[in-house]
């Protein structure tokens, strides 16, 4: 006599629907954005925490909405991998939909507070995020079923989440923030590509035309490799494309201080002070003025011919 299959508990089903392994995709851009904000200026920590709430709410909302919509469209039949709540038979699909709406609502409230505190134009960005999250697998023509899910993840869980965090913390978007957002986006997209590679057979049966079902297993593996390599290449590019050292030519210490202060405000952190008297008293006064104007996070170097006369101040 065949043994009956044991049904998982409701708590286990809900925890599986959360997809805890994917939550890093919402935390990572906030952490990276905060690191960029710390490098570029003085971050507002409360805004960073609110951005984290938005990110987690969006991730949970997308997870539950995807769970519900895939069940409705029959994409979870004979699925390989973690159990889906709506298709489990333990949790009512309607409850999964309500939880998705609740998660999106938390993200919306936190985003509204950020928009009021920082910039009302963030409301437009937030509305676009919410629509993109729901229409990924929901709505009459979900773009996740037409091979556009990877683009959505790269844009919203990479660029928007990272640069958005930078913006709410220091009030501007920087080239470094955009570049790091690309790195985060590559990794987040790689997670989706890996999941779609796992589900390639069931997605094809259900008519879910992901990138994996369109190009096949072999090319999808190559795409996955390229995304991971791209993510790890970004820090190398950031290091190589950092602000070059700026030569300071002003003669009087007061003029040196003004020139360095202006450059610091423009984002520069490396300075080379051209010598006037081979490291003598005037150069030391100019170096002191440059060091004071540059601050502790910058590097000032006095460039003189004799190696023993090289002075470095931090």
The tokens 């080239």 sit on which residue?
175
Q: By C-alpha distance, which of 76, 88, 79 is closest to 12?
A: 88
18: its two tokens:
């959360």
Check if the beta carbon of residue 174 is closer than 8 Å to that of residue 166: yes
Asked whether residue 2 carries a pLDDT value surpassing 60, the answer given is no
Q: DSSP letter string over 109-163?
A: HHHHHHHHHT-TTHHHHHHHHHHHHHHTT-SSS-GGGGT-HHHHHHIIIIIIHHH
- DSSP label at 8? P
Per-residue pLDDT averaged across 184-202, rounded?
Answer: 90
- pLDDT over 80 (residue 249): no
Q: Is the pLDDT of residue 311 over 60?
A: no
Q: Does 171 have pLDDT greater than 50?
A: yes
Q: What is the pLDDT of residue 90?
A: 76
What is the reported pLDDT for 293?
82
Phi-psi region of 238 (alpha: psi -120 to 50; beta: other; left: phi over 0): alpha
Lowest mean pLDDT among 56-70, 103-117, 157-171: 56-70
Whole-angstrom Cα distance, residue 254 to residue 70?
A: 67
pLDDT digits (tens, 9 = 90+) for 145-157: 888 889 999 999 9
For the chain, the maximum distance between any two Cα atoms, rounded to a whole number of angstroms, is 97
pLDDT in the model for residue 77:
56
Q: Is the pTM of this model over 0.75?
A: no
């Amino acid at each position: 006599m065949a043994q009956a299959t044991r049904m998982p508990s409701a708590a286990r089903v809900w925890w599986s629907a959360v997809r805890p392994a994917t939550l890093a995709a919402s935390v990572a851009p906030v952490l990276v954005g905060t690191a960029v904000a710390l490098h570029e200026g003085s971050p507002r920590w409360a805004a960073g925490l609110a951005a984290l709430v938005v990110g987690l709410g969006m991730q949970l909302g997308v997870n539950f909405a995807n769970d519900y919509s895939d069940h409705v469209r029959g994409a979870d039949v004979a699925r390989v991998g973690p159990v889906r709540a709506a298709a489990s038979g333990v949790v009512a699909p309607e409850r999964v939909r309500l939880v998705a709406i609740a998660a999106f609502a938390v993200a919306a409230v936190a985003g509204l507070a950020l928009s009021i505190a920082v910039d009302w134009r963030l409301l437009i960005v937030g509305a676009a995020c919410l629509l993109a999250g729901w229409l990924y697998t929901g709505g009459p023509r979900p773009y996740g079923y037409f091979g556009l899910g990877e683009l959505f993840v790269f844009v919203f869980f990479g660029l928007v989440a990272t640069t958005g965090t930078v913006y709410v913390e220091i009030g501007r978007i920087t080239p470094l923030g955009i570049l790091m957002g690309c790195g985060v986006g590559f990794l987040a997209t790689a997670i989706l590509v890996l999941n779609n590679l796992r589900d390639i057979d069931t997605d094809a049966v259900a008519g879910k035309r992901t990138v994996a079902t369109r190009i096949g297993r072999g090319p999808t593996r190559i795409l996955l490799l390229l995304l991971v390599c791209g993510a790890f290449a970004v820090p190398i590019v950031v290091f190589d494309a950092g602000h070059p050292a700026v030569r300071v030519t002003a003669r009087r210490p007061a003029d040196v201080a003004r020139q360095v202060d202006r450059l610091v405000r423009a984002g520069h952190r490396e300075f080379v002070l051209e010598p006037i008297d081979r490291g003598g008293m005037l150069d030391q006064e100019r170096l002191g003025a440059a060091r004071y104007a540059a601050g502790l996070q910058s590097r000032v170097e006095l460039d003189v011919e004799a190696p023993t006369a090289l002075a470095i101040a931090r």
